Structure 1
Amino acid sequence: MLKIVVLVSGGGTNLQAVIDGVKDGTISNTEIAGVISNNKNAYALERAKENGIPELCVSPKDYDSRELFNEKFLEAVDSFEPDLIVLAGFLVVIPAAMIEKYRNRMINIHPSLIPSFCGKGYYGLKVHEAALSRGVKVVGATVHFVDEGTDTGPIILQKAVEVEAGDTPKILQRRVMEQAEWKILPRAIDLIANGKVTVRDNRTIIAE
């Protein structure tokens, strides 16, 4: 059984997709051990409570230094003894010690087809604003392992979504969530839970 911890900063729509996937069996062999947020007002924490999942908030605002926060944050993650960490809209820089400790055991969902519209400054609506401003015809989402760079770790799954006439950033964001993010994040977790993902030379090999 794969024990996962989900890290969230906001509403938790991707968390909900994972909760639903575990419940309906789309994500097999997996249990959500806990949910951690850096934001005490994150609705994601309510989603966890409603589903009986242990949740807690560890905020940088509560500590005198970033170093102390990083230490306490890693302690909080470790307390759940996770096999896999899932970043689902988590807007905090992951401490280097945590990346090293959980190498190829931490994944992130990003709302673009990496390497387009990714890296520093590309998050949330900013990704979709940039895509529309560039006039691309296809966008999408990517699940990747987390490494020391921003959105640079080995790619696990990607799914394309077409841009439609009249799209606004919010409309496009919603379509990318519905058609890509909420599908490939649960799928990636299920593949990992069943031992079907390996990393070699910064690339993933998926055994179907």
Structure 2
Amino acid sequence: MIDSQDNDYYKIDIVIADRDCGGLNIAENAGIKALLLDRKIYKKDLFKKIDEEISNIDLVVLAGFLSIVDSDFIKKWEGKIINIHPSLLPKYGGKGMYGIHVHEAVIANDEKESGCTVHYVTDTIDGGDIIMQAKVPVKEDDTADILQKRILVEEHKLLPATVKKLSKI
């Protein structure tokens, strides 16, 4: 998102992570406020703390954010929270379907294609309306790791394109 940032369409004001990750360093190096709010420390207060930090933003983008979003937070930001998921939802979504687990399930079920989805966040995990998707073929010799890497390339294109699309609405 940061590398694809187009100031004519969107500006990233803050990057918040629920665990230590490379995105925080990327944000800091780009001059963007970066904040680690460890879910193990904040627990129930995680989304109250996040809400304090983002009062003047137009869109909340969840990318690699593994904490289940609090219902009150979803209600407050309804229609302004999106998530990227590494499958073609509604397949391989919901509790426990994140990261490599998704790709392992896709391979185990001999799927011919997979991909990624950007969707609105609701109280149903990965159940919000789909905004955009990108498809990726599953090759015969794919492992979960190889498939994950190919889908990640598409995620890095799809998420900025989706934010750009939403900024025009």
1:109 equivalenced with 2:92 (yes/no): no
**What CA deviation, in whole Å up to 9, does each residue of 1:63-95 have, x standing for no partner?**
4xx3333322322333xx110000011001111
Which 4+ residue blocks in structure 1 deviate beyond 6 angstroms?
A: none
Letter paired with 2:58: D
8 Å Cα contact 1:28/1:193 also seen in 2: no
Q: Secondary structure at the match of 1:20?
A: coil
CA distance in 2, matches of 1:28, 1:171: 35
2:155 is aligned to: 181
**What CA deviation, in whole Å up to 9, does each residue of 1:125-158 have, x standing for no partner?**
0000000000000101100000110000010001
1:19 is aligned to: 2
1:192 is aligned to: 166
CA distance in 2, matches of 1:162, 1:118: 18
State the aligned residue count. 169
CA distance in 2, matches of 1:156, 1:131: 22
Superposed counterparts of 1:84-95, under 5 Å: 84-95=59-70
| From 6, 9, 15, the counterpart of 1:35 | 15
CA distance in 2, matches of 1:89, 1:103: 20
8 Å Cα contact 1:28/1:190 also seen in 2: no
Identity of aligned residues (%): 38
1:158 equivalenced with 2:133 (yes/no): yes
Q: Secondary structure at the match of 1:191?
A: helix
Task: Give TM-score, length-normalised by structure 2.
Answer: 0.94
1:68 is aligned to: 45
CA distance in 2, matches of 1:115, 1:68: 30
Unaligned ranges ≥5, structure 1:
1-17, 196-208
Q: Secondary structure at the match of 1:140?
A: strand
CA distance in 1, matches of 2:15, 2:84: 16
Superposed counterparts of 1:74-153, under 5 Å: 74-78=51-55, 81-153=56-128
Structure with greater proportional strand content: 1
CA distance in 1, matches of 2:135, 2:67: 26
CA distance in 1, matches of 2:45, 2:156: 34
Please provide the CA RMSD for this pair: 1.3
